[in-house]
A and B are shown apart, each in its own frame.
Chain A
């Protein structure tokens, strides 16, 4: 009897956030105190669910591929034989100065108007995208977690002031602010990171605050307090573990937002400066002039890279949310992020279609 129960693994559709369903096992488990379901920790259940999500797994594959490309960018460009900023005026441009198309003269994705290898530039551009996307998201996550935690946990005037401050930041026109900052300090990658972080951490902060307001009323927080735990201990030992899933999901969804934001700022000339390659400034340079009407490749391929990357992160983030928190519906912020992305993407695509 007990062996059979120990081996029993509930099918996955029985397994919710609360873990295996009870009932069947309850009586037996109560009689012989040594019997519980052969359970798995929450993260392993989540991984089992994620693995069944084909779309999310493909997206994850692409993300991993992208990370590898970014890490091994120098190796890859060396293998191709074309540096990202090298101008191949002899082989890369036709006699009339037109960029060569994909596959010609060993340029897999063709060249741009200055005879540079588009593929090498996209590979190097992925480094910028990931640096900014992941870097600013990581910073936003830390700030958002701490501010959201304090704001939600303490509430009152203090918490409300922090909450309203986050609202103010979210209602700020990001591009105008970025323009002003760049005008004052000059464009640089560091500035780009800081500006993006400043305007994205409140997304996390507000989400965390809402979650913490719910969590702090839970009985296990009260139980911890009855033991004499300090506020710090309650916040970091009891509450933060319950925020991890949420933070991971929204970080994954914030990365593509920030990648697009970087591309947008670079496109507007506020971010990464030429000749350093970034997907945003590649698109901007390609649109500058009407050469792309005959040499479409050096405009389209950076756009494709941007769209695929954004899409992959978003799909993976969705899958992650379903896997980590199957009961949680789409939150408001998640859906506004999505529509924003769509807007950004269609804007870029419209640019490509011009």
Chain B
């Protein structure tokens, strides 16, 4: 492929690669035929902060509607932030106009969830993949076809498929096209919004492997959003757990998966199926949450998780916990909880007669009323 870098080097200095600082996104709620503002707001993302190092993969997990995808769209500049800062290599992209954002789009790209929806059904693959070059005028018109075909080869597609329509490809191949499009401008950061959740399991692995290969080859950073917790665990260096627009816990992936401190994170991660489960005679302890996720229009006071939290006490409803490092945790493992889970503490309900056993996720059974 083209050897010359398409993105000019910006002096990185001591700046973090990507820094998200106290970002919020509120959507006004409209109602009625005239779309009057009702005054309510959906707090899709409500004060999220984290940072990302170059070459790192950050996994972002959480239930549907917790603001993961909105956060992704804020970082790619598809949506303007309501408040807060997103600094990419020290430059605040949240404050940029659409015009000023254009050059930065080359550095931050996105792979979309739905490989059927993200490719225009009426356009040929070659034309779709030429878009990045045409929009940014980066490759001479005559050289574009060659460049696109090289790109197709890189993601495992045959360059003979240049003139085909998306409908002629399978889901996995379409996702390869989506990845090729994101890769075309040689970005430094790729936001993957559930890139494999629409694919068959066997094909998921191929796409994950492709993404990992590309990360090694191009030194990419990833932000990887997924429902599938085992996929996130596999690809991520660090993981962030989101609940109702806020980060509940963030830390190195093994730290969080084996020693989750936030009750929500712990219950979410206890849902990960582990291969050794099949060998057990009794099922592993699972934390089953009751109730639904509250509406982000009127989130609960204090800690947003308190109405569903087995450990909730009075203060949880009053005071919002700060995302901070708890005693005994490694550096960079932050939890937003007043009463984080202690080593050996069991969270799940206690109706089982036999004593709870130690599991990969150390959760167990204090009382939770049925």
Taking beta carbons and an 8 Å cutoff, which residues of A are in contact with B?
Answer: 17-20, 22, 25-27, 29-30, 33-34, 36-37, 39, 41-42, 218-220, 222-229, 233, 237-238, 241-242, 244
Contact = CB atoms under 8 A, between A and B. Distances in A.
A296 B128 CA distance: 61
Given A39-B165, A41-B165, A228-B135, A223 B110 contact: yes
B200 A26 contact: yes
From A27, A39, A219, A237, name the one whose CB has the most chain B CB atoms within 10 angstroms: A219
B170 A26 contact: yes
Interface stretch (B52-60, B116-124, B320-328): B116-124
Give the interface SS of chain A, mostly helix, strand, loop or mixed: helix
A242 to B, nearest CB: 5
A229 B135 contact: yes
B27 interface: no
A237 B120 CA distance: 10
Given A219-B117, A223-B181, A26 B158 contact: no
B274 to A, nearest CB: 27
Contact of A228 (B102, B121, B156, B157): B102
B7 to A, nearest CB: 13
Contacts of B63: none
A226 B78 contact: yes
30 contacts: A17-B167, A18-B121, A22-B171, A26-B170, A29-B172, A30-B173, A34-B158, A34-B160, A36-B161, A36-B164, A36-B170, A39-B168, A41-B165, A219-B113, A219-B114, A220-B118, A220-B120, A223-B112, A223-B119, A224-B120, A226-B77, A226-B110, A227-B109, A227-B131, A227-B132, A227-B136, A233-B135, A237-B131, A238-B123, A244-B122
Contact of A37 (B113, B131, B156, B168): B168
Given A34-B158, A222-B78, A226-B78, A241 B120 contact: yes
Contact of B168 (A19, A27, A33, A219): A19
Contact of B167 (A25, A42, A237): A42
Given A25-B170, A222-B78, A39 B120 contact: no
B131 A242 contact: no
9 pairs of A and B residues whose beta carbons are closest in the complex: A19-B167, A39-B168, A241-B122, A219-B117, A228-B105, A219-B118, A26-B170, A34-B158, A220-B120
B178 interface: yes
A320 B172 CA distance: 32
B206 interface: yes
Given A18-B167, A29-B169, 11 more contacts: A20-B168, A25-B170, A26-B170, A30-B173, A41-B124, A223-B110, A224-B120, A226-B76, A228-B106, A237-B123, A241-B122
A37 B161 CA distance: 11
A318 to B, nearest CB: 22
Given A18-B116, A238-B120, A224 B131 contact: yes
Interface residues of B, number: 47
Contacts of A229: 131, 135
Contacts of A33: 156-158, 173
Contacts of A41: 124, 165
A226 B157 contact: no
B202 interface: yes
B318 interface: no
Nearest to B127: A237
Given A39-B167, A41-B165, A223 B156 contact: no
Contact of A241 (B109, B123, B171): B123
B101 interface: yes
Nearest to A25: B170
Contacts of A226: 76-78, 105, 109-110
Nearest to B108: A226
From B118, B157, B203, name the one whose CB has the most chain A CB atoms within 10 angstroms: B118
Given A219-B117, A229-B131, A29 B170 contact: yes
A325 to B, nearest CB: 12
A224 B122 CA distance: 14
A30 B122 contact: no
Contacts of A225: 78
